[in-house]
Amino acid sequence: MRGLSALGFHLIGKAVFWLKSLHRLAFVCFFLVFIFGLEYGVNKGVSSINCN
């Protein structure tokens, strides 16, 4: 029984680790897309903030 609960905790730890990694990766991707989008808007002479 103890081995089963240890395995459960181990799997939960792995799942949390993967979720944190995926969350960090998603945040970095979103940040890069936002920066590139802003640069693209500024370079085109169209302000992406004002949307005019």
pLDDT of residue 45: 62
Structure tokens at 35: 């920066």
Whether the CB-CB separation of 37 and 48 falls below 8 Å is answered with yes
- Best CA proximity match to 36, nearest among 24, 52, 44, 26: 44
45: left (phi over 0), alpha (psi -120 to 50) or beta: left
**What's the confidence (pLDDT) of residue 12?**
92
Query: Which residue carries 């979720």 as its tokens?
Result: 19
Query: Are 37 and 49 contacting, i.e. CB atoms less than 8 angstroms apart?
Result: no
Q: How confident is the model at residue 49 (pLDDT cuts 50, 70, 90)?
A: low
User: pLDDT tens, 12-43?
Assistant: 999 999 999 998 999 999 999 998 888 877 77
Instruction: Give the residue extent of every domain in the chain.
Output: 19-52
